Structure 1
């Protein structure tokens, strides 16, 4: 369990699941380092948290983690401020929804860097200190997209499969160290994710960011590992893919994320 008075770094904290991680950790008395690109949203969240929890320490760091050098620059700033990081929540990420041949190659590179590269880089820089102290943990946000390839979301699904595999391997490496490692795999959630893709899909059964963050923190508290899927229906779907032939799995996955048809004006 993350203790009162400890410090958690949360990436992608300006909205959605990341914001809910920040709110729920703040309610536990956990000091925060909030990271996102949108300084206005981060500052607004900080003001709200400090009003609700007057003794809470909150540090805001704006950064674009789709830039390869961002993780190193952030950890240098953390070192300079003397902050000891007890928990890292790698939540920042985005997805695209197109045939791969129609994707902007530069956007694909940013997606991989944010979803995978910076997640690994931050973990690589902050995990050694946790292991040396024998406490703390890393919670990486993957997705139910990690459990199967998804045509029209090829890069996103592959990036989340990487996150899941990487995190589960770290869990195996850190067992018995006092450091907890967990991959949280949400299904469709009411966040800005769909706005960023520019497509409307998976409109039914979306979970709330509050629920998803709560599932992640409860699993982290319990030492559950190496991964947890939020929601019974999502767990059944994620496990069910194991029993489908690969071709049928991809056809089903593509149908599941098919963009809604727009109605003529």
Structure 2
């Protein structure tokens, strides 16, 4: 059986990926901070889908714990065929009001972990001549969002993934940036963002995001933007001058910091 490793596996998009890939017959390596929730999900997947599930409790803001996950990805005796870099977090507050420690932890999880784990996975996958990496970014990564370090981290993930997708052409290894819009998960609540005023039409479901992203990955696309509304937003946004783009985002996007 192929094996998939998912970070941030216990909630939201990561949990949806874990359910979907296990249902497709992948053995799973589940990575998250909460050991109890990891065990609960592992038991559920093993019982429902008859797959092997390994749990790896790790805080990806910690260098040593990131290294442990990277070591698991690079282990030739237990190859990982699919990596889903899903772990990440946002913040609520202006850049100057947030502490350097919080900003550094966000950078470590949203950027350093994606870089380190992708590097470990791609090295092993190139040697085998096959493998898939999905780096979860955000529609926010396409826009200059006022004061948003989150958007800045996701812009990095998009650029890294697109560049790797191009350079790995013909190797059998695929890398894709997933760029969802607002998705019904725990993400916004954890970040302390007030989202009650966002129109219902802008909300996506995690299962929908995963379904569309896997179809795009298997079609060889370097970037996936689930949902017709967000495809249109990104397409139009790329045509707008930066000054106008900043004005529109600042006035219309809730929780933009």
Residue 87 (structure 2) aligns with: 92
Q: TM-score, normalised by structure 2?
A: 0.94
Change over 3 Å in CA distance of 1:178–1:77 after alignment to 2: closer
Q: Relative to structure 2, which stretch is displaced further, 72-81 or 232-241?
A: 72-81
Matches within 5 A, 1:134-149: 134-149=129-144
**Structure 2: gaps spanning 5 or more residues:** none
- 1:8-65 deviation per Cα after TM superposition (whole angstroms, max 9, x unaligned): 11000010000000000011101110000011111111111111112x0100000000
Residue 193 (structure 1) aligns with: 187
CA distance in 1, matches of 2:173, 2:255: 41
Residue 263 (structure 1) aligns with: none
CA distance in 1, matches of 2:72, 2:124: 15
Q: TM-score, normalised by structure 1?
A: 0.91
- 1:166-190 deviation per Cα after TM superposition (whole angstroms, max 9, x unaligned): 0000001100111111111100001
- Give the 4+ runs in structure 1 shifted more than 4 A: 77-81
Residue 203 (structure 1) aligns with: 198
Shift of 1:77: 4.6
The reply on whether 1:131 has 2:123 as its aligned counterpart is no
Residue 42 (structure 2) aligns with: 46
How many residue pairs get aligned? The number is 253
Q: Secondary structure at the match of 1:97?
A: coil
The reply on whether 1:256 has 2:226 as its aligned counterpart is no
Matches within 5 A, 1:53-72: 53-54=49-50, 56-72=51-67
CA distance in 2, matches of 1:144, 1:42: 28
CA distance in 2, matches of 1:251, 1:100: 18
Residue 175 (structure 1) aligns with: 169
CA distance in 1, matches of 2:74, 2:135: 22
CA distance in 1, matches of 2:165, 2:190: 31
- 1:163-212 deviation per Cα after TM superposition (whole angstroms, max 9, x unaligned): 00000000011001111111111000011111121121263221011111
Q: Secondary structure at the match of 2:6?
A: strand
The reply on whether 1:26 has 2:22 as its aligned counterpart is yes
Q: Secondary structure at the match of 2:123?
A: helix
**Structure 1: gaps spanning 5 or more residues:** 261-265
CA distance in 2, matches of 1:79, 1:193: 29
**What root-mean-square deviation, in Å, do the aligned CA atoms of Structure 1 and Structure 2 show?**
1.7
Q: Secondary structure at the match of 1:33?
A: strand
Which of 155, 159, 173 is 2:149 aligned to? 155
- 1:137-178 deviation per Cα after TM superposition (whole angstroms, max 9, x unaligned): 1111111001111114x2000000000000000001100111
